[in-house]
Amino acid sequence: MKESIVQKKSFEFSLKIISLYKKLQQEREFVISNQILRSGTSIGANIEEALAGQSKRDFTAKMSISSKEARETKYWLRLLKESEITSIDVDSLILNIDELIRILTSIVKTSQQNLTKS
């Protein structure tokens, strides 16, 4: 099966989050780094589950969870940036997560509309 755009983008984002996590750990920032690792990698994991969903409702639910995880990840990234507890530039990651949020929001809305039509 061909990899979807959201699947590819979420996997690439997860790799970037892992890299950020390692840098934060080196700076001895443990709380936010753990939170961002969990939520940031959960996005792609839930997308993978959605693509293997047993029903349209299951697909929609998993994509909705991915969307929520993406929004949580954006929160942690914004907190890192605004708190200035690190000098690591997270602006490109914020742009990446904004793109993922837009894609996931569109998928969830379309999926929900298709559910009500069935």
Measure the CA–CA gap between 107 and 50, rounded to whole angstroms. Answer: 11
Residue 118, pLDDT score: 67
pLDDT value at 20 more than 80: yes
Structure pTM? 0.95
Residue 92, pLDDT score: 98
Q: What are the pLDDT digits (tens) for 36-75? A: 999 999 999 999 999 998 999 999 999 999 999 999 999 9
User: Kindly report the CA angle at 104 between 53 and 69, in degrees rounded to 5?
Assistant: 85
Mean pLDDT of 78-105: 97
